[in-house]
Structure 1
Amino acid sequence: METYEAYAEGGEHVPNPGHADLVRLVDALNHTGNTFFVVQPDDDDVPWGISVAASRGGFGGYDLGWHDTRTDDRREATAADPTTIATEILDWISQLHLQAARYH
């Protein structure tokens, strides 16, 4: 199974983040020195990634972006709940792993 890592603009690095790690990373986002984090494979070829950023909109919340260059899957969303965001990230990564297993 492919391993992945989270990197926060503020300098935090979390190998294979779990649900609690992702919730904590979302909760730590702000509009000054830690505005986003990314989750991506921990190899040199980065075929997919997820970004979470503190929203610049007037309603707060977070902007999410998913991309997978192998399938041209690109989507964006906004969300407010860190727990829901963490679940969505882990669900998407699980789907990637299931798809990869089917083709190998």
Structure 2
Amino acid sequence: MVAATYCADSENGDHIDDPSEDALFELISELDDTDNTFIVIQPDEDDPVWFASVAVCDEGGYEIVLRDSTRREHKVTTETDVGAIANDLIIWLAARNFPGRPTQHTSTF
């Protein structure tokens, strides 16, 4: 089955279509500094225009990279709280554009 919006892949081969916040929490919690050092979340398509990654830092904690070329967005941060990372990722992912999903509009009414 193809992901409706995006998928998460870890270095050790774990793959989750349309992961929830809890699933992201689990994937991040399972990262280590030997053979499962990162996860990548991106649209399930060729040549995706955005991605997010979480990688284990040598000095502890995690490096989070958020990149969206359509919005000229590139942000790199570090964090130690897995719950905060998973929550921030879900919020960031919700703002991405997905084929077939209506464009988000804001109003000043």
The CA deviation at 1:94 is 1.1
Secondary structure of residue in 2 paired with 1:33: coil
More helix by share: 1
The CA deviation at 1:97 is 4.0
Residue type of the partner of 1:15? D
5+ unaligned residues in a row in structure 2: which ranges? none
5+ unaligned residues in a row in structure 1: which ranges? none
For 1:28-39, list aligned pairs within 5 A: 28-39=30-41
Aligned partner (choices 15, 19, 22) of residue 21 of structure 2 = 19
CA distance in 2, matches of 1:36, 1:88: 17
CA distance in 2, matches of 1:26, 1:102: 29
Residue 12 (structure 2) aligns with: 10
Residue 86 (structure 1) aligns with: 86
Residue 55 (structure 2) aligns with: 53
C-alpha RMSD of the superposition: 1.7
Structure having the higher Rg: 2
Aligned length: 99
Superposed CA deviations along residues 32-77 of structure 1, whole A, max 9, x for unmatched, are 10000000001113010000001112xx110000000112100100
For 1:55-74, list aligned pairs within 5 A: 55-57=57-59, 60-74=60-74
CA distance in 2, matches of 1:64, 1:88: 10
CA distance in 1, matches of 2:27, 2:104: 31
Residue type of the partner of 2:10? A
The CA deviation at 1:102 is 3.8
Residue type of the partner of 2:72? D
Residue 41 (structure 1) aligns with: 43
